[in-house]
Structure formats: structure tokens, C-alpha cells
Amino acid sequence: MMRSLIFWVSSKKAVTSTIARNGMRSGFARRFVAGETLEEALAASAELGRASRRVSLNYLGENVSSPEEARTVRDNYIEMLRGLDCRSIDGNISIKLTQLGLDFDRTLCRDLTMEIAATAQTLCRDIEVDMEASAYIDATLDIFEAVRKQHQNVGLAVQAYLYRTEKDIERLAPLRPKLRLVKGAYREPASIAWQKKSEVDANYRRLVDLLFDGRFYPAIATHDPAMQEHALTRLRERGVAASAYEFQMIYGIRRDLQESIRQAGHALRIYVPFGSDWCPYFMRRLSERPANCIFVLRSLIAEAFRPTRKA
Ligand SMILES: Cc1cc2nc3c(=O)[nH]c(=O)nc-3n(C[C@H](O)[C@H](O)[C@H](O)COP(=O)(O)OP(=O)(O)OC[C@H]3O[C@@H](n4cnc5c(N)ncnc54)[C@H](O)[C@@H]3O)c2cc1C
């Protein structure tokens, strides 16, 4: 119920514009968003690197609606790769195909993705394709397959809440790809997705077992200690080499768990979101854990009642 309430609140312009106005200035959004500019994201990434975390830079933005906008995003992604490279940061980039024209021109989207992968390859870096809402899955899989056939340095996210995902993973197996297993972040209907946490978790465990069968490079992307524990059990049982998998978590979330995964010697990649269009992403993080709202409210109230400084 709380989740639905936050979704509802996030559709109210007055609320989101207050958050957007105050979030970066008063600092509460920085808990989950590395900054508005690439420079800020690179500085946060360098700090994570010093703490032995890999990063995946994630440029926050809306779907684009023209080829020019899609090409601009392609340029931004390439700049992100070069930024990581110039600063010798251990990291890659995550891309969203709807930012590269998936809504209106699939050929353009595929070509731009191909260009980004090729540039990353010349820099000896990799890219990961985020999985978006279910309407985009078939097209995303087709583009991913086409690009992965040309460039080995491309990975893809897959969502455990969907009934179809096991089949999709089997379809991709011949490519021996890197697959990032997530629970899934969108609201999908019961006709295509499990609705209960217990069902999603059960499928997450099944898919972990599948991903550790030797045909994939699994990235276990979750903050759920039970899912992490399941993956740890499987990789111990199967004697998986430390270089053959990684854990992934999101910037600012469960930093205690991030630390314990690293302390135990497992590779950990932090998904680092940044960009001026950070508000919808921020609201999604709040909806995942209503307790997060408390510190936002506290910051907003503190801001509202702060005495105005005299000149
Ligand atoms: C690296 C990474 C990449 C992702 N990429 C994608 C993608 O491409 N496509 C996609 O659909 N989804 C993606 N997601 C989001 C994912 O699908 C889930 O929505 C999100 O991770 C929450 O699920 P969970 O596995 O953490 O488990 P949940 O069952 O939601 O949460 C388990 C526990 O994690 C903690 N937790 C979870 N969220 C928060 C939060 N916001 N604040 C504080 N604590 C929290 C809580 O302790 C909670 O009890 C990604 C997630 C990660 C970690």
C-alpha cells in the first residue's frame, strides 16, 4: 500500500518539483544519486574504486523521441567510457535502449548500441544493457543478440519476476554472456509476472542455479541477503572461480551488505546513477523501501524551517 502511495505521490508535479529543487542542494538525494554531472559521478566512482568496488555508471534520463536525441545520448555514453578510462577507474557503463531510440527506430538503436560497444572494446571496457519494462523485452533481446555476436564485451540484465525469463536465459546461453540477475523494477501484470515477493524470490533462486551452470558470467544484483546467501552457497558447492562471477548493488543501498560482500573477498560492482533527471529514479528507490522516506521528510522539514540567513 505504501508503495502505491509513493507511486501516486510521485505523479504529483508539486511534490516532485519540490524534491527536484531541494534534493541535490540540501544533499538528501546524494544518498542514492552520485550527482548531476559526469564529473561528480566520476569523483564518486573514484572513491568507490579506492574502497575496491567496481562501478557501473548509469546516466539517468527519459526515453528519447528523435534520432538527434538518441545520438546525443550515444555521445554521452561514449564520454562516460572515456571519463572512466582517463581516470583509470575500474568500471563499465550501463545503458538503456529507450535512450537510444528503441521506441521509434530499432535499427538506429541497434547501430548506436553497436557503436558504443565498439568504442568500449577499443578501451578494453564493457557495457551492460539494462532491462526495461516488458513491452521492450523482445526488441532488447534481439538487439542484445545482434551486438553480442559482434562484441564480447556486452552484458544484459534479466528479471526474475517474469515467467518468461528462464526461457530467455536459455535462448541466450549459446552466446555465453554476462547476465545481471535482478528481481525487476517495473509494475508488471499477473498475466506475465509473479506478484508475491515469495514467488519472485523462489524464481530468483532457480535462476541463480541456472546461471551458475557454467554457461554464463553471472552478476548477482540484489540487496536481499537471502538471495545473496543462496548465490554464495551455490558458488561454493560448484567451486566457481572468483573471476567467474560478481555481485552488484546500487549506490547508497545496504552499504553494510556491500561491505560484508567485499570483506568476504567477492567482486562487487556498484551501480552509480547520475544526471540532472534524477527525480523519477530517486522516487523509485523510495518506493522500494518506505523507511527511506523518513530521511527525505526530515531533510525537507529541516530545509523549510531553517532560519533565513541575514545578509
Ligand atoms: C546493480 C543493479 C542493477 C539493476 N538493474 C535493473 C535493471 O536493469 N532492470 C530492472 O528492472 N531492475 C534493475 N534493478 C532493480 C531491481 O530489479 C530491484 O528493483 C531492486 O534491486 C530491489 O530488489 P532487491 O533484489 O534488492 O530485493 P527486495 O526484495 O526489493 O529488497 C530486499 C532488501 O533489500 C533492501 N533494499 C531494497 N531496496 C532498497 C532501497 N531502495 N533502500 C534501502 N534498502 C533497500 C531492503 O533491506 C530489502 O529488505 C537493478 C538492481 C541492482 C542492484
pLDDT for res 25 = 66
Domain of 267, in residue numbers: 37-277
Average pLDDT (64-77) is 97
Question: What's the pLDDT tens digit per position in 95-115?
Answer: 999 999 999 999 999 999 999
List the CATH number of the domain containing 194.
3.20.20.220
The finding on whether 289 has its CB within 6 A of some atom of ligand 1 is yes
CA of residue 37 to ligand 1 center, whole Å: 24
Closest CA to 46 of 99, 88, 100: 88
The average confidence (pLDDT) of the chain is: 90
pLDDT for res 27 = 72
pLDDT for res 13 = 61
pLDDT for res 105 = 98
Kindly state whether residue 55 falls inside one of the protein's structural domains.
yes
The finding on whether 284 has its CB within 6 A of some atom of ligand 1 is no
Tell me: do 117 and 130 sit in the same domain: yes
Tell me: do 27 and 60 sit in the same domain: no
Tell me: do 6 and 140 sit in the same domain: no
Tell me: do 79 and 184 sit in the same domain: yes
Say if residues 86 and 123 touch (Cβ distance below 8 Å).
Answer: no
DSSP 164-226: THHHHHHHHGGG--EEEEE---S---TTTB--SHHHHHHHHHHHHHHHTSSSSEEEEE---HH
Tell me: do 296 and 172 sit in the same domain: no
CA of residue 67 to ligand 1 center, whole Å: 31
User: Which residues make Cβ contacts (< 8 Å) with residue 180, sequence separation at least 6?
Assistant: 128, 155, 156, 157, 158, 219, 221, 248
pLDDT for res 29 = 83
User: Which residues make Cβ contacts (< 8 Å) with residue 69, sequence separation at least 6?
Assistant: none
- Index of the ligand 1 atom closest to the CA of residue 183: 17
Tell me the residue type at 70: A
pLDDT for res 288 = 74
% of residues, the chain, pLDDT over 70: 86
The total of structural domains in the chain comes to 2
Question: What's the pLDDT tens digit per position in 209-255?
Answer: 999 999 999 999 999 999 999 999 999 999 999 999 999 999 999 99
pLDDT for res 14 = 61
